[in-house]
Amino acid sequence: MTGILFLRHGPTDWNAEGRVQGQTDVPLNDAGRRSVRTWRLPHYAADWEWHASPLQRAVETAVLLGADPAHLKLDDRLKEIDWGDWEGAILKKLRAEQGETLRRIEARGLDMAPPNGESPRQLTERLAGWLAEAAARRRDICTVCHAGVLRGAYTLATGWDMRRAAPLERGHAWAHLYTLAEDGALTPEALNIRLAASEPPSGYDR
């Protein structure tokens, strides 16, 4: 079994402004960099292999947490969901302007997709391909990604259809530990790990 620790990148200006980021390549802001420097990974992940989305907010987060840039493995399949025409919009304003339309789109769950964007189902399909390759590597992995990828991993592990709330913290400074079988099947081991914590989740010590 392979261990995979998924965590979201640090904060950006667009996060602070409530904007939809998607695959727009927004860097960390100064507050985000300061925040990431205070994060502490679980001790068992100290020597795990580092992977990240190629978007600069994820790359910079990984490096600030100790990843060697020369060995950091980047993969487009770890990018945030493509929010299409909604990228750059302020979410509260978008909801106010397109409330009923937005609710109908969100009601589709895994098949919701903005105009010219990507659905969660499409994201989970690309993530599943990455997981299959990760399983073949047989190396424990720390993965810096995005909120959509965190949701995709939870969907693949549990069958969540995104039509109801999930017990998953998708904010900054949280991580989620899964085990990965040789066939690429993902199993939750410990969700909602505070990155300030120094102790491993109960029953898991690699």
User: Count of CB atoms within 10 A of residue 125's CB?
Assistant: 13
Active-site residue identified among 49, 80, 87, 189? 80
DSSP H/E element including 142: strand 141-145
Cα atoms in the 13 Å half-sphere on the side-chain side of 48? 26
Strand order in the sheet with 174-180: 73-74, 49-52, 141-145, 2-8, 174-180, 186-194
Contact between residue 35 and residue 173 where contact means Cβ atoms under 8 Å apart: yes
Contact between residue 206 and residue 178 where contact means Cβ atoms under 8 Å apart: no
Active-site residue identified among 9, 146, 172, 176? 9
Is 146 a catalytic site residue? Answer: no
DSSP H/E element including 164: none
Is 106 a catalytic site residue? Answer: no
Active site residues: 9, 80
